[in-house]
A and B are shown apart, each in its own frame.
Chain A
Amino acid sequence: MTRLPHPARTRAEGPGPHAPSTTAAATRRLRRGVVLALVLALAPAPVFAVQPDEVLKDPAMETRARQISEGLRCLVCQNQSIDDSDAPLAKDLRVLVRERLKEGDSNTQVVDYVVARYGEFVLLRPTFGWHTLLLWLSPLLAVSLGAFGIWRLSRRKPPKAERLSEAEAAEVEALLKRR
């Protein structure tokens, strides 16, 4: 469908573009004023995802930090990794990841640390477990189910040629004679 970038990606949100049409115009105007004031108060300055001051001095460690960040979900955003997000929480998480790395944590230790604090929801690649069994096995299941269907189909005997009824045979006979 229409690919419409969410306003959250644009740092500042305008008044709701789709106020319910039933609301009276006066209320709408009032509410628009309130929303506008809120937006002006809350609108963060336009910033980047990863900012230059966050970058670690050790390039190898920074690469690791980026790899980890790409797999962690920004919890307050719609569907973005913390590496892509401008939200303050995402920045906190990025800094946290880098701090853990500086402490000498391995990649898994960092991820475990974040998951312990924020839950599995933070992982963009879900863990393999009972609750995700069907999810992870879905490609395999789909292929084997399809392969089984094809195997069944290929074993099917060709349909026996149907015998002509007497009337049909007579008609064929007549047609052949006409030539």
Chain B
Amino acid sequence: MIVELGHYALALALALSLVQAVMPAWAARSGDAALREVAVPAALGTFACLLFSFCALAYAHVASDFSVQNVVENSHTAKPLIYKISGVWGNHEGSMLLWVLILALFGAWVAGAKTSVPPVLRTNTLMVQASITFVFVLFIITTSNPFSRVAPAPLEGNDLNPLLQDLGLAIHPPLLYLGYVGFSITFAFAVAALIEGRLDAVWARAVRPWTLIAWSFLTLGIAMGSYWAYYELGWGGWWFWDPVENASLMPWIAGTALLHSTVVMEKRDALKVWTVLLAILTFSLSLLGTFIVRSGLLTSVHSFATDPSRGVFILAILALFIGGSLSLFAWRAPMLRQGGLFAPISREGALVMNNLFLVAACATVFVGTLYPLLLEMLTGDKISVGPPFFNWTFIPLALPLLFIVPFGQALAWKRGDATAAAQRLLAAFAGALVVGLAAAAYAWGGPVMAPIGLGVGAYLIIGSVLEIWARARGYGQSRTRDLGTTWRRAIGLPRSAWGTALAHAGVGVAVLGIAAQAWSTEGLGTIRPGGQVAAGPYIAVLDRVGPKKGENFEETAAFLTLRNRAGDVIGTVETGKRFYPSRRMTVTEAGLKTVGVSQIYASLGEVMPDGAIGLRLYHKPLVLLIWIGALIMAAGGGLSLTDRRMRVGAPVKARAKLPPAAVPAE
């Protein structure tokens, strides 16, 4: 019964989103303000319906209702509860339902938020948002219905892919979707502005918090996914330049560019048309990502649940929204009033450079991801574009970008002074040089890029500190030498200033971690109990190999003692092979030992009948900094959101009742 209600709620959401998409347009023609306001309750209603629908599916999974096809294919009675819940979105149908749920969540959020967004802009935004919701709910109902029944119902389900039975699945997709789909709001704002033909600082101010929310979640989602792949796949890589990873990276890069261009638009009334285009492109890349993953168009290590008919449907959605919005842009953009200008050496000039390099990097990832496909279609040549290509092209674009970060922050708006900015950053340059040289001296003869990377990371972190320091000290007349005053001023700085500095420092921290991976070392061996494998400064001694029992798997685990070169015990670590009888799959469980922010990574290989095991041991120096950096970036985004100017506001509790007499004369 609950499943049927969930199914019904899904259909109701389809109808409500249609109402939300159509009514405001009708209202605009008839000039009926009350009809226009229907968008708000419709948005809340769509969200409520989809939430109920999602909960109904979750209920079916938790209760192991094997009369539902989706549950049969992805669940098992012996599966732990947490994976029964996360299994809801661990498959195509469920994850699409989560996708639209988040889409509706953002719609409802905009509808309910107490903001100064002009009513026409808001309803137009809700209208665009609803049209996306409508099409995707239609997609779910027609091609990927999670509520299909199966009769007769089997006694047991097929269980979830063991690789997905991990906390990573519980956290990663929801975060990623909040980011991905969050950009639908900026897209809707952009299209709404084009429809209305109005584009000003008010628009930029309205869009900024949404961009920040989506960007922060996407940052967390990508970082979480990266960490998950790192420990789950079993050989310690943190980024594979895989098409599916690129699919999430592209909207992130474009979103980062958008985040910065809206600042220019808000402060200087420049880059307006460009910002709208970026907002459209960012969500278009999210849609493209959905298409890449859902259609199985590109071979990926992550591909699952692919079906050509679904691919064609999503391709049609893609054509509709990307083609439609870009056509609208081409038609309306020339009519928009061009904004202010900027000098090349200024804060806005630096932000333009930021956009230049970010968009170029995004274009490179885009071309690299899709080029093999196009080439094969056009000429029949089969080529591969793998990590070496991306490393060769991406890093040269990233380096100038990273150089600009603190430099741009040191420049003033309108007209900056490059020499003064460089002087202000003297400490950062010096710090970078010291760190880089020290690293080069310490690891002489090693990889060249690692010390350079560490230097860049240090430059970014020190640069962020200097930014806060300089602002707290003050400029010109109000400049102070008193530490107490500096401290009070630092506290009093806008939260967005702190957020910016934090996010930029986070980039630096991540760069440190990435650069240090060039020094990771690996040891490999076939050993018996008592034997050892060494990697970098550590040695792993095999104590014993033994069985372990889990709720729905059997594990053969290797228990290791870790020692440093001096022979002192650092700790123990275990790695195993888990066998899931329901799917007859074996999965490697990597063993991780964290020392500071570095990790020792053990991965079990073949277990021979005579008791010998294959063991691979990695030493990954500073590896945790990669994800800590991402966390700091997202925290910076969150901190900025608490800024007074940025608050989206809590949903309105009770709408003020207007006297009915107030009917505006046309």
Contact = CB atoms under 8 A, between A and B. Distances in A.
Contacts of B302: 1-6
Contacts of A27: none
B605 A78 contact: no
A46 B605 CA distance: 7
A119 B577 CA distance: 36
17 contacts: A4-B164, A6-B301, A7-B163, A18-B305, A25-B151, A25-B152, A25-B154, A36-B584, A48-B614, A77-B301, A79-B386, A120-B382, A126-B389, A135-B371, A138-B364, A139-B396, A143-B360
B177 to A, nearest CB: 8
A135 B392 CA distance: 12
A64 interface: no
A18 B73 contact: yes
Interface in A35-88: 36, 39-40, 43, 45-53, 55, 70-71, 73, 77-81, 84
Interface stretch (A9-17, A89-97, A100-108, A166-174): A9-17
Contacts of A7: 161, 163, 585
A49 B371 contact: no
Contact of A14 (B228, B292, B583): B583
B301 A79 contact: yes
Contacts of A2: 89-90, 95, 169, 172-173, 176, 293, 302
Contacts of B228: 3
B303 A78 contact: yes
Contacts of B344: 154
Interface stretch (B32-40, B241-249, B535-543, B635-643): B241-249
B243 A79 contact: yes
Contacts of B299: 78-79
A50 B603 CA distance: 13
The 5 A-B pairs of least Cβ separation, nearest first, read A124-B386, A14-B583, A125-B388, A1-B293, A142-B360
Contacts of A11: 586
Given A5-B233, A14-B584, A14-B585, A78 B172 contact: no
A158 B343 CA distance: 12
Contact of B605 (A29, A51, A147, A150): A51
Interface of A: 1-15, 17-21, 25, 29, 36, 39-40, 43, 45-53, 55, 70-71, 73, 77-81, 84, 119-126, 131-132, 134-136, 138-139, 142-143, 146-147, 150, 153-154, 156, 158-159
Interface in B293-351: 293-294, 299-305, 307, 338, 340-342, 344
A150 B352 contact: yes
Contacts of A1: 95, 173, 176, 180, 244, 247-248, 289-290, 292-294, 302
Contact of A3 (B225, B384, B392): B225
Interface in B473-492: none
Q: Which of A84, A119, A125, A134 is the most central at the interface, judged by chain B CB atoms within 10 Å of its CB?
A: A125
Nearest to A73: B384
B631 interface: no
A10 B304 contact: no
Nearest to B359: A146
B359 A4 contact: no
B290 to A, nearest CB: 6
A122 B605 CA distance: 26
B555 interface: no
Interface string B149-164: 0111010001101111
A46 B384 contact: no
A134 B385 CA distance: 13
Contacts of A45: 606
B387 interface: yes
Most buried by A among B91, B292, B587: B587
A49 B605 CA distance: 9
B301 A5 contact: yes
B186 to A, nearest CB: 19
A153 B344 CA distance: 11
B367 interface: yes
A139 B364 contact: yes
Contact of A5 (B151, B232, B384, B389): B232
A115 B289 CA distance: 31
A10 B586 contact: yes
B606 A48 contact: yes
Given A1-B173, A132-B371, 10 more contacts: A4-B302, A5-B232, A7-B161, A18-B304, A45-B606, A131-B375, A131-B383, A132-B383, A134-B367, A146-B355
A131 B381 contact: yes
Contacts of B148: 21
Nearest to A11: B586
Contact of B91 (A18, A20, A71): A18
Given A139-B396, A150-B352, A43 B584 contact: yes
B116 interface: no
B526 interface: yes
Contacts of B413: none
Contact of A146 (B360, B386, B526, B616): B360
B588 interface: yes
A14 B304 CA distance: 12
A125 B392 contact: yes
Contacts of A21: 69, 145, 148, 150
A10 B356 contact: no
A10 B166 CA distance: 15
Contact of B73 (A19, A43, A71, A121): A19
Given A1-B180, A138-B363, A156-B341, A81 B386 contact: yes
B229 interface: yes
Given A51-B614, A121-B382, A6 B357 contact: no
Contacts of B356: 143, 146-147, 150
Contacts of B368: 135, 138
A55 to B, nearest CB: 7
Contacts of A39: 584
A125 to B, nearest CB: 4
B437 interface: no
B578 to A, nearest CB: 10
Contacts of B367: 134-135, 138
A120 B73 CA distance: 39
Contacts of A52: 524-526, 614
Given A3-B172, A5-B301, A48-B616, A17 B606 contact: no
Contact of B307 (A4, A20, A46, A48): A20
Contacts of B74: 17
Contacts of B360: 139, 142-143, 146
B74 to A, nearest CB: 7
B271 to A, nearest CB: 9
Contacts of A29: 154
Nearest to B357: A143
A146 B271 CA distance: 13
A119 B384 CA distance: 11
A30 B232 CA distance: 32
Contacts of A17: 73-74, 91, 158, 161, 304-305
B79 interface: no
A21 B225 CA distance: 29
B183 to A, nearest CB: 14
